[in-house]
Structure 1
Amino acid sequence: MAIAHPQTRQFESFVTNLSYARQMVRAGQALEVLSPKGIDTDDFYRAAWVQSIAALEHWVQEEVLRRVAEEAAKDDPDMPRKLRDYPLPLHCLERVQRGETTTAEVVTERVRQDIARQTLQNPDAIAKVMALVTDVKVWREAPKWINRWSQYRTSYDEKRLRGQYILLLRRRNQIAHDADLIDGDLKQRRQIGEADVTDALNWIERIALALAYALEGDASKSSGHPTSTGASEAPVGDQLHID
């Protein structure tokens, strides 16, 4: 089943960053055949895994900032509760009153500063920042999309999808923080192969896409693709294929 990508600059950037990771996998495969001395070709797979997680985290940050700017510019009382109650320092409000900036610009910049101080390295952190732009529980909604795309051959729920992402994060952390060394060993590293990392990259893309759709609301009521401002159904080619 082909799933349309949201046509926003933020998601296009995610797809581009993920393609870099896929290129690393192909490079690893090519070098594996040559078996060059002094090069651990598995490192290409490890780098791809780390890159894919970074791509998702970057998309979350930029997507939230885009939506914050749009919501703040609307000045709509029905904006998401967390954004409506977002605290602003007095000096920011004074700048708006003096006409030096707009409310939307101030709010967006403050959110950008706050997100920059956070790490989006677990499902709770992602849910927290996305709560600024939606009242939907994104990790509860995202699995519904995955099940729908698989024509209900799967039965993912919030717990299982969070668990899947945590497993991906755990391996990324082992690579990034522990050089992927086996616990208690200073030389031997965990095994990794093309199939492992390709499956991980596919899951990262699937999770990001499900979160993007979840931002739009209830899967059971949606027409099937994101309809947010600036987004439209993707043309053929900009799609995720789920078998």
Structure 2
Amino acid sequence: MTGTTFQPAPDVRWGQFTTNIDFCRRMVHSGAALESAATSQLNLGDLSQVEHTDLYRAAWVQAVSALDHWLHREIVSRAIAIINDRPTPRPDRLKNYAVSWQTVEDMQSRSIDDVMTEHMTERLGRDSYQKPDRIAEGLGYVTQKKQGQIWKEVAQLLNSQPTVEYVKQRQTEIADRRNKIAHEADIDHLAGARRPITAPETSATIEWIANLATAIKAVLG
């Protein structure tokens, strides 16, 4: 009888995150191709109305959103797993998580998993997991580690092994730029024009977010 090799269940949430990050990379490649075509001598039609930098901005926003979306799904999924595993100590934030009486009544006719997944998805959906402090607050539902310990371990896992202060500052700057793009059309009001953006800096941002998420995933275990 031939033995079978155990195949672990695919991590759907992580798979979606990496797919989203790949989409961001392709947007940058598309923008770079348009940028190159606009300055070439090839007859590719009228590219005067094409703004390649908008693809870089879209990729920037999408990359931050990919991180935010993955963290929300990961936190809810891990929280439900902890609730179901009674021997596992509850992190303080999860232990103190409050629900309404209506939610308790819903559990009489529906599974606790379904009710709590919906409840936590809706409540945590009001939070933004883009900046360091908010990310660590969200992770507080599913780990006993304090904020300082989380970022210390994340920094140690990043390839360049930057300081905790650098990691938090870098992620804050990325999130701030995302907000300027999404909410202010990336306009520098003093200059009266959009802020410059390039393919290399956008690609570097995407890779930073991919590596940051990988480190967070490892810290959670």
User: Which bracket does the TM-score occupy, shorter chain normalised?
Assistant: 0.7 to 0.9
* CA deviation after TM superposition for structure 1 residue 66, in Å: 1.0
Query: Which of the two has greater helix per residue?
Result: 2
Which residue pairs with 2:131 in the alignment? 122
Contact 1:138–1:214 (Cα < 8 Å) also in 2: no
Residue 109 (1) aligns with residue 118 (2) = yes
Residue 178 (1) aligns with residue 184 (2) = yes
Residue 55 (1) aligns with residue 55 (2) = no
Task: Determine helix, strand or coil for the equivalent of 1:101.
Answer: coil
Residue 17 (1) aligns with residue 20 (2) = yes
C-alpha distance after superposition, 1:197-224 (max 9, x if no partner): 01111111111111111212xxxxxxxx
Instruction: Provide the rounded CA distance (Å) in 2 between the counterparts of 1:47 and 1:93.
Output: 42
Residue 34 (1) aligns with residue 37 (2) = yes
Which residue pairs with 1:197 in the alignment? 202
Instruction: Provide the rounded CA distance (Å) in 2 between the counterparts of 1:77 and 1:144.
Output: 22
Contact 1:53–1:172 (Cα < 8 Å) also in 2: yes
The count of aligned residue pairs is 205
Unaligned 5+ segments in structure 1 are 1-6, 217-243
Which residue pairs with 1:234 in the alignment? none
Unaligned 5+ segments in structure 2 are 1-9, 39-46
The alignment-based identity, stated in percent, is 27
Contact 1:28–1:44 (Cα < 8 Å) also in 2: yes
Higher RCO by CA contacts (8 Å cutoff, separation 6 or greater): 1
What letter corresponds to residue 141 of structure 1 in structure 2? Answer: I
Contact 1:69–1:105 (Cα < 8 Å) also in 2: no
* CA deviation after TM superposition for structure 1 residue 18, in Å: 0.7
Contact 1:141–1:214 (Cα < 8 Å) also in 2: yes
What letter corresponds to residue 169 of structure 2 in structure 1? Answer: G
Instruction: Provide the rounded CA distance (Å) in 2 between the counterparts of 1:147 and 1:130.
Output: 18
Larger radius of gyration: 2
Q: Could you say if the C-alpha distance between residues 101 and 154 of structure 1 is closer, same or farther in structure 2, counting changes exceeding 3 Å?
A: same
Residue 154 (1) aligns with residue 154 (2) = no
Instruction: Provide the rounded CA distance (Å) in 2 between the counterparts of 1:122 and 1:77.
Output: 28
C-alpha distance after superposition, 1:40-97 (max 9, x if no partner): 111111111011000000000010111122112223461222212211212222333x
What letter corresponds to residue 206 of structure 2 in structure 1? Answer: L
Runs of 4+ aligned structure 1 residues displaced above 4 Å come to: none
Matches within 5 A, 1:232-243: none
Residue 133 (1) aligns with residue 138 (2) = no
Task: Determine helix, strand or coil for the equivalent of 1:118.
Answer: coil
Which residue pairs with 1:232 in the alignment? none
Contact 2:31–2:53 (Cα < 8 Å) also in 1: yes
Matches within 5 A, 1:22-101: 22-35=25-38, 36-76=47-87, 78-96=89-107, 98=108, 100-101=109-110
Instruction: Provide the rounded CA distance (Å) in 1 between the counterparts of 2:157 and 2:59.
Output: 28
Instruction: Provide the rounded CA distance (Å) in 1 between the counterparts of 2:157 and 2:100.
Output: 43
Contact 2:136–2:150 (Cα < 8 Å) also in 1: no
Instruction: Provide the rounded CA distance (Å) in 2 between the counterparts of 1:165 and 1:148.
Output: 15
C-alpha distance after superposition, 1:129-152 (max 9, x if no partner): 2111111135633443443453xx
Instruction: Provide the rounded CA distance (Å) in 2 between the counterparts of 1:85 and 1:77.
Output: 15
Instruction: Provide the rounded CA distance (Å) in 2 between the counterparts of 1:139 and 1:61.
Output: 20
Contact 1:142–1:210 (Cα < 8 Å) also in 2: no
